[in-house]
Structure 1
Amino acid sequence: MNRICLVTGAGSGVGRAAALALLGDGDTVYLAGRRMEPLQETAAMATGGTAIPVTADVTDPASVGAMFDRIRSEKGRLDVLFNNAGISTRSINFGDLTWEQWRDTLSVNLDGMFLCASAAFRMMRDQAPQGGRIINNGSISAHAPRPGSAPYTASKHAVTGLTRSISLDGRAFGVACGQVDIGNAATAMTKVMTAGVPQADGRMAVEPRMDVDDVGRTILFMASMPADANVQFVTVMATNMPFIGRG
């Protein structure tokens, strides 16, 4: 397709899977993350397209601005942003949660999401031809929380509001915005699930996971929609994970 794409958090996990899926479809993909080495590892795994690693801190407005300035200077436009960078926190009861733990999660999962979406929106609005697509990484926690997950769950509920607002405000400019809510993709972040994680009834239970490449294919599907169509929300999850029927 040779779309011009940006994937944040592209050095591992879901971001890497999405970037490789887009690259495999022939796209030019800017691979963004804090450290260059894992981005270069992602680039080396590509089977097509053009991979361009770029270091950036999504919580820093200046760093985000420099990244988008580079894309504008080198390519003149941006067609797709997969707004993926995020962190999770260990399970901690709300009564024991500290301000620092709250802010650490929100700074990446919400502030970083806003900074990248805002820069992408303006670029897509102002470029010619106008328009583009923003895909925000939500979570099944945007629907139902896990025990001890207040910062993460709150951030993902906020991402849903952000997605809806961008989708509405983008209509006049051809900027589509959708959200992918992912459950138990097999990444380093979810490895703990193979040993057991807290359930709503207080039990510890091993949870099934799915191949992270299935998420990559989902992002490619969303990115490949024509300009007059949009996947507003999609949930992709391990078939037998305890999400439907939680509690």
Structure 2
Amino acid sequence: MGKVAIVTGGAKGIGASISYTLGKRGYSVVIADVDEEAGLYRLEQFHKENIDSLFVRTDVSSETDVKNLMDEVYKRYGRIDVLINNAGIGFSGRSIEEQTLEEWRKIIDTNLTGTWLCSKYVINYMKRNKERGGVIINIASTRALQSEPNTEPYSASKGGIVALTHSLAVSLSKYNIRVIAVSPGWIDTSRWQYPPKESRLTNLDHKQHLTRRVGIPEDISSIVLFLVSDEASWISGVNFVIDGGMTVRMIYLDENVIRDSLSILLDDEELSGLLIKLVEKAKSDKDSVKRLLNSLVRDRGDIY
């Protein structure tokens, strides 16, 4: 029998792509997801492509569900080689003054505690063959390293996953279990949703990345595929940031940033140049520029 991988949150988004990639490379894949409809949809897709797969409805914040997941998988396959801790939920976007304790607990319980629970209960099965061991991949986020406003519960959960990763790596090395974190940046998961969606990204979304595009789930799947392989056997306890270069790019708000942003947004060098000239004129004569723009808006009501 080939290797067996469990992917939490494996029915949609990055998790679904990871499940598919591992399955096409010969892994038996267990999709663990709280969304039963999406899970069964993904299971049907995989079976059509001859991927040996199993769906187990699992709420990773529930200790009972997690124990049942591990037991079912081992009962079915007699081994567990890989655990991908991918299940997670987002944030409301409300300010910290408006965030509730219930929201905080739900996000921490799913994203961080869920990762801890799944790791805790998979160990017993991975360590049964010390020579073979196993690999745990924790899907964190660049939000562990940088933030936008009003992301406190999510950022805290992902930062916790990065710290949990190196702690687990040290503790589990005696069982030949490697533990690694992967922190995706901006990933367009449209095609891997249930049902699949059309991407609505703009030119500005793509070109602000050093790689000139927003990531796709396959960008994460490809590195996960490598990290769980024997070729990566010397890698453990680290966090891989996969974000198109966004976290290394220092951005200061100045005229050059504005000029570049207009050029990307409008995709018209002449128009962006004219707007920059208008901005320059407004520095010394705001009233004239206001009159000009008000006149333009009045004459062209369709601008609104």
| Superposed pair shares fold, TM > 0.5 | yes
Counterpart residue type for residue 110 of structure 1: L
CA deviation digits over 1:58-116, x for unaligned, max 9?
Answer: 11111110110111212121100000000011222222221111111111011111110
Q: Distance in 1 between matches of 2:130 and 2:74?
A: 12
Counterpart residue type for residue 172 of structure 1: K
Aligned equivalent of 2:40: 40
How far residue 131 of structure 1 moved from its aligned partner, in angstroms, is 1.0
Contact 1:174/1:227, CA 8 A, preserved across alignment: no
Would you say how many aligned residue pairs link Structure 1 and Structure 2?
237
Q: Distance in 2 between matches of 1:113 and 1:100?
A: 19
Q: Quick one: which of 158, 161, 166 aligns to 1:159?
A: 161
Counterpart residue type for residue 234 of structure 1: F
CA RMSD of aligned residues (A): 2.6
Aligned equivalent of 1:58: 60
CA deviation digits over 1:194-233, x for unaligned, max 9?
Answer: 579xxxxxxxx96332222221212111112347322632
Aligned equivalent of 1:229: 234
Counterpart residue type for residue 207 of structure 1: D
Q: Quick one: which of 82, 85, 110 aligns to 1:83?
A: 85
Contact 1:109/1:156, CA 8 A, preserved across alignment: yes
TM superposition score normalised by structure 1: 0.86
Identity of aligned residues (%): 26
Q: 1:162 to 1:69 in 2, by over 3 A?
A: same
Aligned equivalent of 2:140: 138
Give the secondary-structure state (helix, strand or coil) at the position aligned to 2:127.
Answer: helix
Q: Distance in 2 between matches of 1:207 and 1:177?
A: 32
Contact 1:20/1:42, CA 8 A, preserved across alignment: no
Q: Which has the higher strand share?
A: 1
Decide which moves more: 7-16 or 222-231. 222-231
Which structure has the larger Rg over C-alpha atoms?
Answer: 2
| 1:210 and 2:232 correspond | no
How far residue 119 of structure 1 moved from its aligned partner, in angstroms, is 0.9
TM superposition score normalised by structure 2: 0.71
How far residue 138 of structure 1 moved from its aligned partner, in angstroms, is 0.4
CA deviation digits over 1:4-48, x for unaligned, max 9?
Answer: 100000110000000000001011011111133211222233334
Which has the higher relative contact order, 1 or 2, with Cα contacts under 8 A spaced 6 or more apart? 1
Q: Distance in 1 between matches of 2:40 and 2:222?
A: 21
Query: Gapped runs of 5+ residues in structure 2?
Result: 207-213, 253-304
Q: Which has the higher helix share?
A: 2
